[in-house]
């Protein structure tokens, strides 16, 4: 019960410290794989979404929580060598779903009228779900990999008192190799809405 109270108290303390510029961002995200990720799937992804919670700790300095989903898919012919030593060829339908779960810090520069520019860096983990459908078979491999996510964004205030803004962001997602899975990298680009900004200021 005590831990439950603590869970409620911490956000309250945070909120008392947080200033009016704390906000939530929800975005539609596209992504371009590079490196090893592109060797698995080299196709641009048009499916993804992110939610970011940004808490202003001191003026312009924010603590950020970020969660998202980036879905990649591609079809290609090739030979897959299985763990049992079989070489299987055919049309491969490859899928990669990445769920990055990050936290970090960012500097937000108010531009007036609810607009802002920010730059920051998140760190955390990402869940990678890989599937290859080949013929009547399906091969899967999953991993959790630690990573970082530098990001920038530009929000344009929509002029309302609630501080809603249209924003564009860009992120570089880098995940270190782990448990036999190589380094993963991709760029993602988002467009979305920022809620609870500083329109009234």
Partner 1 sequence: MRQATLAAAMGLLAACYPGGAQTASDLDTVTTQHDPGADFASIQTYAMPSTVQETPAAAGEPLAIDHGNDAAILATVAANLNKLGWRQVNPATVTPDINVMVSVTATRYREYVAYPFYGWYPGWAGFTGYDDTWSVYYPYGGGYTTVIDAGSLRIEMLDTRTPNSTTKQLTAVWTASLDGIIAGSAQSLLTRINTGIDQAFAQSPYL
Q: Residues in the site for partner 1, rule: CB under 8 A?
A: 47, 69, 71, 73, 75, 79, 85-91, 93, 95, 97, 129, 131, 133-137
- What are residue 33's phi and psi, to 5 degrees? -75, 150
The residue to which tokens 């999953």 are assigned: 142
Least Cβ distance, residue 135 to partner 1 (angstroms) = 3
Least Cβ distance, residue 127 to partner 1 (angstroms) = 12
Least Cβ distance, residue 115 to partner 1 (angstroms) = 32
Q: Which is nearer to partner 1, 65 or 69 (CB)?
A: 69
Q: Which is nearer to partner 1, 134 or 152 (CB)?
A: 134
Least Cβ distance, residue 85 to partner 1 (angstroms) = 6
DSSP three-state, residue 126: strand
Q: Which is nearer to partner 1, 55 or 132 (CB)?
A: 132
Q: Which residues of 140-170 are buried (b: 16+ CB within 10 A; e: fewer)?
A: eeebebebbbbbebbbebbeeeebbbebebe
Q: What are the residues whose beta carbons fall under 8 Å from the beta carbon of 117, sequence distance 6 or more?
A: 108, 109, 111, 152, 153, 154, 155
């Amino acid at each position: 019960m005590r831990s439950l109270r603590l869970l409620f108290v911490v956000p309250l303390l945070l909120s008392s410290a947080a200033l009016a510029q704390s906000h939530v961002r929800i975005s539609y995200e596209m992504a371009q794989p590079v490196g090893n990720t592109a060797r698995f799937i080299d196709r641009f992804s048009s499916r993804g979404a992110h939610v970011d919670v940004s808490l202003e700790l001191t003026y312009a300095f924010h603590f950020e929580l970020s969660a998202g989903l980036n879905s990649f898919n591609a079809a290609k012919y090739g030979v897959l060598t299985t763990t049992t030593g079989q070489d299987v060829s055919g049309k491969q339908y490859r899928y990669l779903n990445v769920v990055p779960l990050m936290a970090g810090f960012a500097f937000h520069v108010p531009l007036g009228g609810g607009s802002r520019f920010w730059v920051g860096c998140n760190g955390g983990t990402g869940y990678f779900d890989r599937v290859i459908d080949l013929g009547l078979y399906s091969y899967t491999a999953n991993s959790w990999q630690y990573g970082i996510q530098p990001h920038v964004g530009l929000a344009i205030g929509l002029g309302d008192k609630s501080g809603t803004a249209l924003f564009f962001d860009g992120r570089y997602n880098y995940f270190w190799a782990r448990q036999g899975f190589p380094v993963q990298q991709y760029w993602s680009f988002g467009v979305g809405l920022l809620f609870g900004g500083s329109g009234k200021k």
